A and B are shown apart, each in its own frame.
Chain A
Amino acid sequence: MLKVTDLNTSYGKIHAIRGISFEVHEGEIVTLIGANGAGKSTTLKTLSGMLAPTSGSILFKDEEIAGTPAHKVTAKRIVHVPEGRRIFSQMTVRENLEMGAFLRKDKDQIEKDLEEVYELFPRLKERLNQKGGTLSGGEQQMLAIGRALMSKPDLLMLDEPSMGLAPVVVETIFEIIKELNKQGITILLVEQNANVALSIADRGYVLETGKIKLTGTGAELLKDESVRKAYLGEE
C-alpha cells in the first residue's frame, strides 16, 4: 500500500532523514521506533506533505505522492495525527470532528461516522460542546484520532499517541488502535514507547539518526538484544 524508497528530508542544513526505505502493506500495523531526534516524526511529516522531501519516492497505492502538499495528501486518504495532538483548542469538540470531515460532501454518512466516533470514544460525546483546549490530555488524543477518522483514512499515521499520558490511558488508546486496524484501517505508528508499540505491531523498523538500522516483526524486535538495550531500558 505504501512504498517509500530512498527518502531524504532536510530542515535547512540539517539532513534529518538519510535515504530511508520501507513498506507498509494493506491491513498491517507497522511501527517506526527510535530515540529522540532519530527522524521518526520527520518521516511522518514528509509522508503527509507537511514537509517536502529533498529526494526519494513515496508510492501510495502505486501513485507518487512525494512533495504533494498536505491538504492533497489527506484527500488521498492518508491521514496524519500529528505529535502533540494539535487539536483546535478554541473550537468545540464537535467542530474539531467536523473539520476532520472538511473534504467530504456526503452529509448523511458524516452523521453516521460521527456516531461511530462517539461509540469508540464515549468521553467525546459527553463533551461535544466543550472547547478542545479544555479537554484532558487523553481526551485530546482521542479527539485527534476521532478527527482523523472523520477523514476516512485508508492509512492512519499516528505520531506518539502515548506521549504524556497515564499508563491506563495509553492502554485504552492502544486498544482502540488495534480495534481500528481490525476494522480495516492500515496503521503506521511512530512511538518512543517501543515496548507497547512493538507488542501490537505486525512489523517494525528501528530508526537511528535518520537511517533504518533494523527491521523485523514486532515479536522479533521485542526479543532483539540491541533493541532491548537501546529502547526498552534493559541492561
Chain B
Amino acid sequence: MRLSSRNRAAVTFVRDILFMDTIIQQLVNGVTLGGMYALIALGYTLVYGILLMINFAHSEMFMSGAYFGLFTMLFFTDEGMIGKVTSALPWMSWLTPAREFFLGSTFGLILLFVIVFGVAAVLTGLLGMLIERVAYRPLRNAPRLAPLISAIGVSIFLQNAVLLWVDSKAIPFPSIFPVKTFAYGINSLKIFIVVASFVLLIFLDTFVSKTKIGKAMRATSQDRDAAGLMGIDINSVIALTFFIGPALGAVAGIFHGMYYGAVIFNMGFFPGIKSFTAAVLGGIGNLRGAMLGGFVLGIIESLGAGFISTGYKDVIAFVILIVVLIFKPGGLLGESVVEKV
C-alpha cells in the first residue's frame, strides 16, 4: 500500500510524539531512580574516601533501612500489628488513637513519614557504626583484601539474618503515600523521591564543604595521619562516616520499597552494585561525582529500558562499569588537581 505524502507526514508526526512521550517518561523514571542511586552511591564513596575500602555490606544497609522503615510504618499504621502489640502490652494502647491521627490528616501523614524515615535512618546509621566497630576496625592495619572480605561476610550475614528471622518472601510496603498521577507518568511519589533526594544531597554537600566536622571528614580522607596531628579524632570521623552513609542508604531503601511496593531480603543486590557503579562512574571518593554518577546511571538505564528492552536494564549498568573502568578509570569527576611533592 502506498501512503500519500500527507499521510506519511501524519505518521511521522504521531511517531515523533510517541517518541518524545517515551523520552520524557523514561527521563522522569531515570531521575527518580537516579536519586536513589545517588543516595546509595554516597555511602560507597564516603567510606572509600576515608578507608580506601569498598564497603560491600552497603547494599545491606539499603535493605536494612527499607525493613526498619517498613516495620516502623507497620508499627504505627497496621491494625493487625497494633492489635497484637496493645493486647500484649496494654500501656501501648495509645497506638490506636495515634494511628487515627497519622492517617487522618495531611499533617499526620507528613509526621508519620518524618518518623518512619527518621527512625530508619538512625537505626541503620547505628547498625553501620556497629559493623565498622566489629568487622572493619580490627582489620584497619591488615592488608586491604581483609576488610573487603569481611564486608562480603557482613553482607551475606545480614541477608541471611533477614531471610531466617524476618521473612524469606517479599513483604508488601503499605501504600499509604497518596499517589496522584500527572502527565508523562509523573506522579506525586516520584516527585517526592526526587525532591527529597535533592534536598538530602544538597544538605550533605553543604555539610561536608562548610561545617567544621565536614571539613574534618575531608581532611581525614585526604591524609589520615595529618588529620590526627590537627587534633581530629580519626576514629570518631570514621564512625560518623559509617553513620551518614548507611543513614542515606536507608532513605533510599524506603524510597525503593515505596516505589516498587515491596521489600525482600535480597533487594539490596542490584541497587547496591549499580550504585557502586554510579560511584565509580562519578569518580570514587568524590562526593559530587557520586551524585552525578547516580543520576547519569539512572537516566541511561531508564532510557535503555525504554528504547532497547527492559530485559537489558540491568546489563546497561555493568556495561557502563566496564567501559568506565577501561576508558576513564578516574571517573567523570576524578581527581583533577596535580599533586606536587
Residues of A that sit less than 8 Å from B by CB: 48-50, 69-71, 74-75, 79-80, 82, 84, 86-91, 95, 98-100, 102-103, 131, 133-137, 140, 147, 151, 164
User: Are A137 and B337 CB-contacts (below 8 A) given A71-B228, A82-B225, A86-B226?
Assistant: no
Q: How would residues 214 to 244 of chain B score, 1 for a CB under 8 Å from any chain A CB and 0 otherwise?
A: 0110110011011111111110000000000
- Cα–Cα distance between A184 and B90 once the two chains are bound (Å): 70
> At the interface, yes or no: B341 with Cβ under 8 Å from chain A?
yes
15 contacts between A and B (CB under 8 A): A70-B229, A71-B232, A74-B229, A74-B230, A75-B231, A88-B218, A88-B222, A90-B335, A99-B230, A102-B216, A133-B337, A133-B340, A134-B338, A137-B340, A151-B230
Asked whether A71 lies within 8 Å of B233 as measured between CB atoms, the reply is yes
- Cα–Cα distance between A86 and B230 once the two chains are bound (Å): 11
Known A74-B230, A140-B340; 10 more pairs at CB < 8 Å: A70-B225, A70-B229, A80-B229, A86-B223, A86-B225, A87-B223, A91-B215, A102-B231, A102-B232, A134-B340
| Smallest Cβ-Cβ distance to A136: which chain B residue | B340
| Smallest Cβ-Cβ distance to A163: which chain B residue | B341
Q: How many A-B residue pairs have CB under 8 A?
A: 86
- Cα–Cα distance between A151 and B227 once the two chains are bound (Å): 12
- Cα–Cα distance between A89 and B218 once the two chains are bound (Å): 10
- Cα–Cα distance between A133 and B226 once the two chains are bound (Å): 14
Shortest Cβ-Cβ A-B pairs, 8 listed: A70-B228, A103-B231, A86-B226, A74-B231, A133-B337, A88-B222, A99-B230, A102-B230
- Cα–Cα distance between A134 and B337 once the two chains are bound (Å): 7
- Cα–Cα distance between A103 and B338 once the two chains are bound (Å): 30
- Select A133's contact among B216, B219, B227, B338, beta carbons within 8 Å: B338
| Smallest Cβ-Cβ distance to A144: which chain B residue | B226
Q: Which residues of A contact B337 (CB under 8 A)?
A: 89-90, 131, 133-134
Asked whether B226 lies within 8 Å of A88 as measured between CB atoms, the reply is yes
Asked whether A50 lies within 8 Å of B228 as measured between CB atoms, the reply is yes
- The interface centre, meaning the residue of B226, B232, B234 with most chain A CB atoms within 10 A of its CB, is B226
- Select A88's contact among B219, B338, B341, beta carbons within 8 Å: B219
Residues of B that sit less than 8 Å from A by CB: 212, 215-216, 218-219, 222-223, 225-234, 335, 337-341
Shortest CB distance A161–B (Å):
15
| Smallest Cβ-Cβ distance to A100: which chain B residue | B230
Asked whether B338 lies within 8 Å of A147 as measured between CB atoms, the reply is no
Asked whether B340 lies within 8 Å of A88 as measured between CB atoms, the reply is no
Shortest CB distance A235–B (Å):
33
| Smallest Cβ-Cβ distance to A70: which chain B residue | B228
Asked whether B229 lies within 8 Å of A87 as measured between CB atoms, the reply is no
Q: Which residues of A contact B228 (CB under 8 A)?
A: 49-50, 69-71, 74
| Smallest Cβ-Cβ distance to A103: which chain B residue | B231
| Smallest Cβ-Cβ distance to A150: which chain B residue | B230
Asked whether A102 lies within 8 Å of B225 as measured between CB atoms, the reply is no
- Cα–Cα distance between A28 and B230 once the two chains are bound (Å): 23
Asked whether B219 lies within 8 Å of A91 as measured between CB atoms, the reply is yes
- Select B225's contact among A50, A89, A103, A147, beta carbons within 8 Å: A50
| Smallest Cβ-Cβ distance to B223: which chain A residue | A86
| Smallest Cβ-Cβ distance to B285: which chain A residue | A90
Q: Which residues of B contact A75 (CB under 8 A)?
A: 231
User: Are A135 and B232 CB-contacts (below 8 A) given A89-B222, A90-B335, A91-B222?
Assistant: no
User: Are A147 and B222 CB-contacts (below 8 A) given A133-B340, A137-B341?
Assistant: no
Shortest CB distance A83–B (Å):
11
User: Are A99 and B335 CB-contacts (below 8 A) given A71-B233, A74-B230?
Assistant: no
- Cα–Cα distance between A99 and B234 once the two chains are bound (Å): 13
